[in-house]
Structure 1
Amino acid sequence: MSLFFRKSISWDEQIKFTNSNLSNVGERAKERLNFLGIDQDTLQIVKESADFLAPFKDEMIDKFYERIQSVEGLHKIINEYSTIDRLRKTMGKYLDQFLEAEINKEYIMTRIRIGQVHSRINLTAENFISAHHLLLQVMTAVLIEKLYHKPARMMESIIAVQKLAAYDQQLIVEVYMEHTFKHFLFGVSDMLNEITDIDTTKQLIYSIEKQMDETHNVTAATDQMSASIQEVANYAIKVAEGTDDAVQSAEKSRLAVDETTTDILQVGKVYEEIVNGVTRLGQEIDHTQDIVQVIKGIADQTNLLALNASIEAARAGEHGQGFSVVASEVRKLSEHTKEQIVKINENMESLQRVSSEVIDEITKTSKLVEKSVTGAENTSQALVHIVEMMQGINEATSQIAAMSEEQTSTTVDIASRNSSIYDNSVQAREISHQTAKTLFDLSNKMDNYRKTFFEINVKLTSKDIVKVAKTDHLLWKWRVYNLILGVETIDLKEVTSHEMCRLGQWYYGDLPDHIKQKDAFKQLEIPHKEVHENAKLVVECHNRNDLYGVEMGFKQLEEASEKVITLLCELEDELEKDL
């Protein structure tokens, strides 16, 4: 029967709740349709109402966007993400589909995409609902204008259109809210993933501790250097004093050498006189030998005369006895003289040899004296040069002593500044620890905030669940990292089982077969198990203060964790392709 001939129906009958008999939608959609009282009759009324509404489609769209553009915030969103012309075409397709009133998978997916787009461009649910109500007001106004003389038909059409519009609005807003919640959820997850990827805190703390050690070493070295410099300064002062004494001694030595040189020159002159005297002595020896030869000749003549006298005395007989005695005495005297002359000759020859030797030695000594004089003169000049050099050394040593004093002062200043650096490093280390703790506390608060999204009735796809699992795993590794930093405590029982963590509960939970058949899913179990084994090792080493074991265990944990994350990303990509 045509609606034009329907009897008048009261308002409470118009909004009665019926069970939808739509067979081409899912159970979740049926629940919403039943709640709003939408059935095939409702959709039929909307289709019939299209006869009144379709001619005014362009006008409705014009009024809709005229109002939309009057809002500055909405106008800005349109210019940023789209154009009015494109949106008019989209709105035209929406109205055509709405007036066709065929609720099927394509109809529902169109509304889902609208909700997703509105969430992506940050169009708030409030603005969407207001804009959608504006569109509904325009359609209601048209129906009132066209059917005011047929109240029953008008009421049926308006209520049917409002029911279907309410369904659209509920579905779009639900998708919008769900997509927005997911956006916030994964935005928080991404921030948590980035936080868990921060490795600079540990490096900063270790670097500061290393800097503190180096600063301590520098302080010790500076103290030693300061003591050494002071010792050098003291030695320099002593050397300067000793050099000054040496200069004075060298000056005295130079004067003494000069006096010695004068004395040696005088000795040289004396030696020249001695040589001359010895030479004259040799000459006198030669003259004496000549005289001795004369005496020898006289002795020989005397001896000859004595011999002749003896002969003549013998001839004279008794008269010659007295003369014979004289002749005998003269001969004895002559023999004695000859003996003495022999001795004198021997002595003179010996004296001559000694004189020659003396002359030779004196000549040699004279040459040595001359050499000594020359050496003494050179020594005097060398001493003058030495005195000058030692005076220069004395001045340089004094400067070294003064510079050493300045270096000592500078070293003390360096030590003082280094001590300040050490104090600042200690403070920086404390700030770094506090920063690490603050960062960890912030990550915990963000994770708690993230968990609140799971309490909302948000439908997560398999890909979404993998993404959540990835963040859960990174947060779990983040706890171990902060255990090493000393800002977190972990009970050994928490890391013993790879099945009890959130990733393990998901992995060994009731999952669809199409997920379990993925290669990335199958490969995930072994590295995930290795993560927990190495985490257990880290906790054990940490409890017994085995720093090397902690570092090695965490390094192996990170390697296994990288494999887990890589496989989860591969699984996420594979599930994306399935959508």
Structure 2
Amino acid sequence: MLFKRLRPSLNELLEKGTDYSFHGRFVDTLSYNHFTTEDFAKLKQIDELIAPHKQEMVRLFYEALQHVQPEATKTITEARIEAYLNAFFTMERNRAYVDESLRFFHLLRKEKVNVGKLIVAFNQFNFFVLTTLLAKVALAPKRCLTLMETLQRAINIEQQLLVEVYTETLMEQIADGTAKLMEQNAEIMFIKDLLQALDQQNSDVQMVTAATEEMTTAVSEVAHAATVIAEKTTTSVERAEKGQQMMTEAFGEIIETSEQFTNMVDRFEHLQQHLSAIEKVMQLVNGIADQTNLLALNASIEAARAGEYGKGFSVVAEEIRKLADHTVQSLGEVQRNVGELRTISSEVSSAIYSTSSTIRQAVNQAQEAMPLLQEIVSAMGDIQDSTNTNAAVAEEQAAAVDEIATRMSSIASLTEFVRELGEKTGKTVHALSKAIDRFRLGLVNDNGIKLSSKALLHLAKTDHLLWKWRIYNMIVGYETVRPEDVASHYQCRLGKWYFDEQTKKQLQGTPAYEKLNAPHERVHIAAKKAAEAYAKGDLKGAEAQLKELEQASIEVIRLLDELIEKVEKERTFETHLA
């Protein structure tokens, strides 16, 4: 359009719209900058006017790049800059032009050229062209002004595209980074299992601690009993040793008694011998008495023959006979006494002999028993040593078990402390995930940035990781998710992108795109069912749905990664073409 005067009005500067008509964001960019097909025609006029100075413009741009990022000029040569400038001035504003510009801008970004300094470079380029136009058509101010306006619009479009490339790439990196953060964050879903395991462990430790305390009591009782047994065993050993000593002394006395009885037997044998000698003497005296009696009888007979002369001799003979009879009677009495003495002596001798035999047998048995008694005393000594050792070991075990009980109590306290740390960690991680989510949503919603397909796919990844994460935290008790909070798979960010006509046109037939809808729908169904189950108090049902959600989410993430890889490959290919 032509301005009505040399200085454009505010309304003229605020005009929007374009006569280009094709699908895509670039039409909005053209419209916002009020760039039309007439402007494109004027761009070609500018190109003709500044053609003699094209190499200067290339050099200007190249030197600016070299100053900003020297390494970039190894890839972005003067020839590449010239190709870009030719496209800027001569290429129709359509999808092909956008692809050409984006390839160049992505190349600049890849070489890490600072975007702020690039804008300065574009402004310098714009100033160079403007001053060149002024030098060429200064005498036609209206034409000069319209050409300058067209150039400014074209430069504005380039700068807008440049900023969008950098901001969208930054958003892609942020979205990718937050997606990875959330992915790693979501991996901490084991906190629930950790807390459950710690609860179980704490319960087990409490049971073991109680059992250990009971065992401590039992072992202490055993130790006490062992000590008592050791003491009693010591007493028994002392008594056994004393008994052995007494038995030894008794054995000595028995042997001495046996010897005395043997002497008595010998003496009785001598007594028997003396009695035999007495009997022999008595037999002799008895014989003498018989002879005396016979002589007295003969004397009486002779006295009778002598008559009167023999009367005195007869009296003597009678007295002698009486004395002989009396002697015989006395000898009979003595013989009876000696017989009785022999009988009693024989009985006593037999009794003493029998007793002596018994004592000898007892001595033999005692001699045999003494080694056994010694063995018993020795065994009792060994038992004493063992019981003393057992008592000491039992006391050590009692101390060890008591130490175990103390340590188990410490472990129980430590387990509870670890559980509290796990609880705090879970809450902290949950708070961190909420902060990360607020950060990414703030970047997207508060900065008016239009998302590229890659950035949107990364955000969609995070969205679905968050659903898994939110349901998990709902089960743990860190977050509230109502069933009505779970939208359908048509209404979420991914669903809106998936069912968008432009997306269908761009990706229809792509395997990952075609497969994405089914697991995506399962994610939303499982999330809703999990929230419903949890609201009813069905924790197991909620956990089962979480597992289903996780399986579906894994498939969604895998397919989204494939789509991201496809977008990235297409962009890399286009960059390499540049």
Q: TM-score, normalised by structure 2?
A: 0.70
Report how many residues are paired.
555
Aligned to 1:11: 6
Q: 1:86 aligns to what SS in structure 2?
A: coil
Measure, in 2, the Cα distance between the counterparts of 1:64 and 1:516: 41
Which of 156, 160, 181 lines up with 1:166 in the alignment? 156
Measure, in 1, the Cα distance between the counterparts of 2:544 and 2:150: 69
Q: CA shift at 1:566, angstroms?
A: 3.3
Q: CA shift at 1:292, angstroms?
A: 6.4
Aligned to 1:110: 100
Aligned to 2:123: 133
Which of 362, 373, 389 lines up with 1:368 in the alignment? 362
Greater RCO structure (CA 8 Å; 6+ sep): 2
Q: Which moved more, 1:232-241 or 1:169-178?
A: 232-241
Measure, in 2, the Cα distance between the counterparts of 1:30 and 1:263: 132
- Cα deviation code 1:407-440 (max 9, x no counterpart): 6885686467446525633542442343244134
Counterparts of 1:384-463 in structure 2, within 5 Å, are 414=407, 417-418=410-411, 420-421=413-414, 424-425=417-418, 427-446=420-439, 448-449=441-442, 452=445, 456=448, 458=450, 460-461=452-453
Q: Which letter maps to 1:202?
A: K
Counterparts of 1:284-303 in structure 2, within 5 Å, are 284-285=271-272, 288=275
Identity across aligned pairs (percent)? 24
Q: CA shift at 1:281, angstroms?
A: 2.3
Q: 1:503 to 1:288 in 2, by over 3 A?
A: farther
Q: Which letter maps to 1:478?
A: W
Aligned to 1:143: 133
Q: 2:551 aligns to what SS in structure 1?
A: helix
Q: Which letter maps to 1:458?
A: K
Q: 2:102 aligns to what SS in structure 1?
A: helix
- Cα deviation code 1:281-331 (max 9, x no counterpart): 24544675687699899999999xx9xxxxxxxxxxxxxxxxxxxxxxx9x
Which of 201, 212, 224 lines up with 2:191 in the alignment? 201
Measure, in 2, the Cα distance between the counterparts of 1:567 and 1:278: 123
Measure, in 1, the Cα distance between the counterparts of 2:380 and 2:169: 98
Aligned to 2:249: 262
Q: CA shift at 1:558, angstroms?
A: 2.4
CA contact (8 A) 2:189 2:469 kept: no
- Cα deviation code 1:109-143 (max 9, x no counterpart): 22122343455566565433222011111222333
Q: CA shift at 1:161, angstroms?
A: 3.5
Q: 1:488 aligns to what SS in structure 2?
A: coil
Q: 1:11 aligns to what SS in structure 2?
A: coil
Q: Which moved more, 1:234-243 or 1:476-485?
A: 234-243
The answer to whether structure 1 residue 486 and structure 2 residue 486 are counterparts is no
CA contact (8 A) 2:498 2:504 kept: no
Q: Which moved more, 1:411-420 or 1:194-203?
A: 411-420
Measure, in 1, the Cα distance between the counterparts of 2:470 and 2:398: 55
Q: 1:12 to 1:211 in 2, by over 3 A?
A: same
Aligned to 2:181: 191
- Cα deviation code 1:8-40 (max 9, x no counterpart): 9953699898987778x6676566556656555
Q: 1:215 to 1:119 in 2, by over 3 A?
A: farther
Measure, in 2, the Cα distance between the counterparts of 1:47 and 1:418: 83
Aligned to 1:274: 261
Q: 1:483 to 1:450 in 2, by over 3 A?
A: farther
Q: Which letter maps to 2:157?
A: Y
Measure, in 1, the Cα distance between the counterparts of 2:24 and 2:408: 79
CA contact (8 A) 1:132 1:169 kept: yes
Q: 1:219 to 1:530 in 2, by over 3 A?
A: same
Q: 1:490 to 1:154 in 2, by over 3 A?
A: closer
Measure, in 2, the Cα distance between the counterparts of 1:274 and 1:459: 131
How well do the aligned residues superpose, as a CA RMSD in angstroms?
5.9
Counterparts of 1:489-508 in structure 2, within 5 Å, are 489-494=480-485
The answer to whether structure 1 residue 565 and structure 2 residue 557 are counterparts is yes
Aligned to 2:57: 60
CA contact (8 A) 1:222 1:414 kept: no
Counterparts of 1:551-562 in structure 2, within 5 Å, are 551-562=543-554
Q: 1:219 to 1:422 in 2, by over 3 A?
A: farther
CA contact (8 A) 1:205 1:433 kept: no
CA contact (8 A) 1:118 1:176 kept: no
Measure, in 2, the Cα distance between the counterparts of 1:384 and 1:556: 76
Q: CA shift at 1:199, angstroms?
A: 2.3
Q: 1:109 aligns to what SS in structure 2?
A: helix
Q: Which letter maps to 1:438?
A: A
Q: CA shift at 1:487, angstroms?
A: 0.7
Q: Which letter maps to 1:432?
A: T
Which of 468, 477, 484 lines up with 1:477 in the alignment? 468
Q: 1:265 to 1:38 in 2, by over 3 A?
A: closer
Aligned to 1:89: 79
Q: CA shift at 1:484, angstroms?
A: 1.6
Q: Which letter maps to 2:360?
A: S
Measure, in 2, the Cα distance between the counterparts of 1:154 and 1:491: 64
Q: 1:471 to 1:106 in 2, by over 3 A?
A: same
Q: Structure 2, unaligned stretches of length 5 or more?
A: 294-323, 572-578
Measure, in 1, the Cα distance between the counterparts of 2:203 and 2:178: 39
Measure, in 1, the Cα distance between the counterparts of 2:555 and 2:474: 22
Q: Which letter maps to 2:125?
A: L
Measure, in 2, the Cα distance between the counterparts of 1:529 and 1:166: 42
Q: Which letter maps to 2:435?
A: L
- Cα deviation code 1:389-421 (max 9, x no counterpart): 8599769957976x6897688568646744652
Q: 2:76 aligns to what SS in structure 1?
A: helix
CA contact (8 A) 1:218 1:418 kept: no
Measure, in 2, the Cα distance between the counterparts of 1:36 and 1:499: 34
- Cα deviation code 1:243-273 (max 9, x no counterpart): 66x28x81x6645643553343233223212
Q: CA shift at 1:228, angstroms?
A: 4.6
Measure, in 2, the Cα distance between the counterparts of 1:495 and 1:44: 53
Measure, in 1, the Cα distance between the counterparts of 2:8 and 2:487: 64
Q: 1:450 to 1:28 in 2, by over 3 A?
A: closer
Q: Which letter maps to 1:91?
A: I
Measure, in 2, the Cα distance between the counterparts of 1:105 and 1:507: 22
- Cα deviation code 1:467-493 (max 9, x no counterpart): 544433222222111112111122245
Q: TM-score, normalised by structure 1?
A: 0.70
CA contact (8 A) 1:215 1:421 kept: no
Q: Which letter maps to 2:249?
A: T
Q: Which moved more, 1:429-438 or 1:352-361?
A: 352-361
- Cα deviation code 1:177-211 (max 9, x no counterpart): 44444444444344333333332432443344345
Aligned to 2:315: none
Measure, in 2, the Cα distance between the counterparts of 1:430 and 1:421: 14
Measure, in 2, the Cα distance between the counterparts of 1:497 and 1:48: 54
